[in-house]
Amino acid sequence: MRTWMDITFTPSVKAAQTRRGSREGYARMEAKGTTRTFVDDGLADFIANARSFYLATASSDGQPYIQHRGGPPGFLHVLDENTLAFADFSGNRQYISTGNLDENPKAMIFIMDYRTRRRVKIWGTAKVVENDDALIDRLMPDNYVARPEAALVFTVNSWDTNCPQHIPLMVFAEDVEPLAERVTALEAENARLRRQLTDNNTASGDAT
């Protein structure tokens, strides 16, 4: 099976690495090989917590296109160690990704987790599956307000991670809201206690 280095390190890329001084190091990496050609437990766990990712496709003449996909944690499913899939929700109905995959199955999934400052790149091929209600129902998140039109099935060829450098640390609003509510409640309790303390001090002063 081709690794991510086999896929990405074209002769032109290798020439650029040579020109900029990184080719020797990457040649050693290529010689060692990589086991990142299937979904292991660590990647499966990372995917299970993903709330969004980017899907890259290209037309037959090489015009690239990147589309954001989002949903509740777990909306991107691991079907087996070589297959990912998700429900294709109805959107603006441009169908650029769908059309690209009809003529060029090569695709890439890029998952960014801003909470942990981790990112994963997954290379493979993809296809849109229409009129398979059982598969679409299996992939549809429970109680999620969206209308699925199809399923997208992604075959994993290889994957890699990036260092966290320059990734901004961010959290989801829905994760912060309970904390904000708790802070508000604590501030109200603190104000109540301060008033009570003031009232007690005042009463004590009046008594003397």
192 and 124 together in one domain: no
* Same structural domain, 140 and 54: yes
Question: In this predicted structure, what is the pLDDT of residue 71?
Answer: 94
Are 80 and 16 contained in the same domain? no
Same-domain status, 101 and 175:
no
Residue 208 has a pLDDT of: 58
Tell me the CATH number at 48. Answer: 2.30.110.10
* Same domain? 20 vs 94: no
User: Is residue 109 located within the same domain as residue 146?
Assistant: yes
Task: Specify whether 39 is located in the same domain as 27.
Answer: no
Half-sphere exposure of 59 (CA within 13 A, CB side): 6
Instruction: Tell me the pLDDT tens digit for each residue of 7-33.
Output: 999 999 999 999 999 999 999 999 998
Number of domains in the chain: 3
Q: What are the pLDDT digits (tens) for 121-165?
A: 999 999 999 999 999 999 999 999 999 999 999 999 999 998 888
pLDDT value at position 174?
75
Q: Residues 154, 176: one domain?
A: no
Q: Torsion angle, CA of 167/74/109/137, rounded to 10 degrees? A: -160
Give yes or no: residues 146 and 87 share one domain.
yes
Whether 152 and 82 share a structural domain: yes
Kind plus residue range of the DSSP H or E element containing 83: strand 83-89
Residue environment code for 101-116, b if the CB has 16+ CB neighbours within 10 A, otherwise e: beebeebbbebbbeee
Residues spanned by the domain of 193: 171-208
pLDDT one-digit tens code per residue, 79-129: 999 999 999 999 889 999 999 999 999 999 999 998 888 999 999 999 999
Q: Would you give the distance in Å from CA 116 to the centre of its chain? A: 12
Q: pTM score, two decimals?
A: 0.81
Q: How confident is the model at residue 199 (pLDDT cuts 50, 70, 90)?
A: confident
**Does one domain contain both 146 and 178?**
no
What does the pLDDT average to over 27-40? 92
The pLDDT, as a whole number, for residue 128 is 97
- Are 105 and 28 within one domain? no
